[in-house]
Amino acid sequence: MSNIVAKAQQAVMGSQGDKSNDLAKETKEISDKDRLTTDYGVKQSSADDWLKVTSQDKQGPALLEDPFARERIMRFDHERIPERVVHARGAGAFGTFRVLESPSDLTFAPVLTDTSRETPVFVRFSTVLGSRGSADTVRDVRGFAIKFYTQEGNWDLVGNNIPVFFIQDAIKFPDVIHAAKPEPHNEVPQAQTAHNNFWDFQFNHTEATHMFMWAMSDRATPRSYRMMQGFGVNTFTLLNAKGERHFVKFVYTPTLGVHSLVWDEALKLAGQDPDFHRKDLWEAIENKAFPKWKFGVQAIPEADEHKFDFDILDATKIWPEDLVPVRYFAELELNKNPDEFFTQVEQIAFCTSHVVPGIGFSDDPLLQGRNFSYFDTQISRLGVNWQELPINRPVCPVMNFNRDGQLRHTITRGTVNYYPNRFDAVKPATVKEGAYVEYAEKVAGLKARARSAKFKEHFSQAQLFWNTMSQVEKNHIINAFAFELDHCEDPVVYERMVNRLADIDIGLATTVAEMVGGDPPKEATRPNHGRKAPGISMLEFPGEKPTIMSRRIAILIADGYDPVAYNAAYGAASAAMAVPFVIGPRRAKVMSAGGLHSVTPHHHFEGYRSTMVDAIFIPGGVDAIRTLSTNGRAQHWVREAFGHLKAIGATGEAVDFVNKCIALPAVTVSDSEEAHESYGVVTMRHIKPDGLRDAVNIAKGCTGFF
């Protein structure tokens, strides 16, 4: 019998620890050697014509008897599966998780302690509210879910890019999502929080106050999935070999820094390039600019659970980093794009309930509800055997007596499918063999539909967040509220919300009210404690070192461009692993000054937009600049890039062109022979190779910050 079990196990598992090999077994490559067949393997002679009764001069009816045509149409008719009820829009990639320094005082989980391991992972990023086809850059929370294919089973860490949540108790999830999704009568608006129902709910649920401050901040308009932090949000537990337990929050911080789009860019990109984030991730991985995150935890010993003025099991609260610092000990790298979107990114399915020995849950009421919801939703989305799908199956052995159901895939040999059985087959594992054992937590209390006292305080951390923001971040938050509440037509909604803002900051409330209407109180309705905390302002995360690696740089040219400046800039950007895009008046040969060189631009001025790049560079050239000066769109490129705080470089005749486009007295575009930088505009009359390097360096710094 054990032989049979071993064989069956082999059929289910991949080669140990290696998810790529496991997936390779199910992956087919298309080639010109392939011949078209039906799903049942019979070769087909035509993919163009349905079987018909026909003759040369008369077209007769199509025949229902044609099994080939019927199969194609039937398969097509059933291609769609339900999209995720939230987080429907997303992108994903494979990667690796490595432990750099073992936190064995916190946990015995090998995935978090074994420094010799490389655990394969799949990460799916997402927006929350939009449908599968919605735009990437909308204002929204981003999902950041990691599936760790560990030797001890799959561990799913289903996090977001914001460390807190709207609600404390999972029972409210349907309400917060219904209120945020398109309204029920007309299914409007798509992928937006800017509507009556969302803000009506926020007002009626004071516990959402902290979270909506984050959602109105620049965190909700990331520049790239690669430039977002990730947070497990809920409170988990780690168990060490001595049996000691810590409460933990998982944190992952990108080495590229935390950066956002400005709102105007995000709005425009939603139309100009709805796949902006999806493409950005793909492009970076293809260019081998592998995104990386430092991975760590905030940990609180079990004995200290009640030492804080907030409940550490409340998902609407952060653990301020001055009280509980983050301890980084591992790194996460994404290094391989998926082969096929549907079978990998769409079919991947996460469950917060899936943890491995050494990692556990807490009594966080949001987490406990989530632990029910995820498995359940996968059944309706993918079917009960969803864990057998290639992207979801573990790389370690799987064996049990869960059987049958729709689309059961595994064939298990043996005459019994229950335990205990006369063969002693498929016995429960011992602790030594790696069994998951629940922590023996002592629980006592009365059953009640209630939350503990500290869960009732809802404003303190909303103020903490606001107090900590830099002035620039505050301005962006004010503008976000002004935009959102302006989209609420019902005065009850925006007037009440303006009042609610006075619970956080009276300046915020009055400034927003001036724009959207409403009558806020004259004074703050709640005293501000004045506290700030580290780890909240994005400015604290500029990145490990300034880099233009994987940043897009547009080089604007026209006939007569200066080939020396062009080549130098293109070369410098490529050498720094940035992604240069040449933009010209047409996607056909553009001749340099002197006619010795030519370039075929990647895009033309109308086909691409400044929103899609991080910086622009314009080489001089008398004729080229004459053309750009009479081209409204080329001027718009410069103005818009400047308005979005992007680095702009110009040499030779392009200096005057940029100067004219910007035309702001505060910005001095220098006439200097040397490289000169002002407001992120880098200019040089006469180029020198060194000066260009300066320009690229300055561009690095500038693109890093906005």
Query: Which residues lie near ligand HDD (CB under 6 A)?
Result: 84-87, 90, 124, 126, 143, 145, 158-160, 165, 170, 173, 233-234, 315, 349-350, 366, 369-370, 373-374, 377
- Percentage helix, strand, coil, to 5, in the chain? 35, 15, 50
Find the shortest distance in angstroms from Cβ 290 to ligand HDD: 20
| Residue from 510, 636, 499 nearest 202 by CA | 499
Q: Which is nearer to ligand HDD, 369 or 542 (CB)?
A: 369
Find the shortest distance in angstroms from Cβ 124 to ligand HDD: 4
Find the shortest distance in angstroms from Cβ 465 to ligand HDD: 17
Angle at 100 between CA 99 and CA 105, to 5 degrees: 75
Query: Using CA atoms, how far apart are residues 67 and 42, in angstroms rounded to an integer?
Result: 11
Q: Which is nearer to ligand HDD, 224 or 703 (CB)?
A: 224
Binding residues: 374
Sequence-ordered strand ranges (E) for 312-392 = 327-336, 359-360
Give the CB-side neighbour count of residue 253, counting CA atoms within 13 A.
18
Angle at 192 between CA 191 and CA 195, to 5 degrees: 140
Look up residue 593 and give its DSSP letter.
G
Find the shortest distance in angstroms from Cβ 126 to ligand HDD: 5
Q: Residue 458 catalytic?
A: no
Indicate the residue type of 390. Answer: P
Q: Which is nearer to ligand HDD, 145 or 285 (CB)?
A: 145
Find the shortest distance in angstroms from Cβ 380 to ligand HDD: 10
Find the shortest distance in angstroms from Cβ 337 to ligand HDD: 16
Beta-bridge partners for 90:
126
Task: Give the number of other CB atoms < 10 A from CB of residue 575.
Answer: 10
Query: Using CA atoms, how far apart are residues 554 and 636, in angstroms rounded to an integer?
Result: 14
3-state secondary structure of 595: helix
Find the shortest distance in angstroms from Cβ 328 to ligand HDD: 20
Residues 6+ apart with CB under 8 A from 690: none
Binding residues for heme: 374
Torsion region of 560: left, alpha or beta (phi above 0 gives left; psi -120 to 50 gives alpha): left
Q: Catalytic one among 3, 21, 78, 87? A: 87
Q: Residue 161 catalytic?
A: no
| Residue from 47, 248, 18 nearest 118 by CA | 18
Query: Using CA atoms, how far apart are residues 49 and 642, in angstroms rounded to an integer?
Result: 55
Residue whose token pair is 């991975």: 295
Contact 208, 201 (CB under 8 A): yes
Indicate the residue type of 644. Answer: H
Tokens standing for residue 293: 């995150």
Contact 150, 110 (CB under 8 A): yes
Query: Using CA atoms, how far apart are residues 516 and 638, in angstroms rounded to an integer?
Result: 31
Q: Which is nearer to ligand HDD, 367 or 462 (CB)?
A: 367
Angle at 313 between CA 84 and CA 307, to 5 degrees: 160
Find the shortest distance in angstroms from Cβ 20 to ligand HDD: 20
Nearest-CB residue for ligand HDD:
143
Query: Using CA atoms, how far apart are residues 624 and 644, in angstroms rounded to an integer?
Result: 25
Q: Which is nearer to ligand HDD, 85 or 533 (CB)?
A: 85
Q: Which is nearer to ligand HDD, 84 or 245 (CB)?
A: 84
Pairing status of strand 359-360 against strand 552-556:
unpaired
Q: Catalytic one among 3, 21, 154, 160? A: 160
3-state secondary structure of 144: strand
Cα separation values, 515 from 121, 195, 466, Å: 46, 16, 19
Pairing status of strand 327-336 against strand 292-301:
antiparallel
Pairing status of strand 615-618 against strand 647-651:
parallel
Find the shortest distance in angstroms from Cβ 123 to ligand HDD: 9
Q: Which is nearer to ligand HDD, 170 or 573 (CB)?
A: 170
Q: Which is nearer to ligand HDD, 157 or 682 (CB)?
A: 157
Q: What are phi and psi of 573, to 5 degrees?
A: -65, -45
Query: Using CA atoms, how far apart are residues 213 and 122, in angstroms rounded to an integer?
Result: 30
Q: Which residues are catalytic?
A: 87, 160
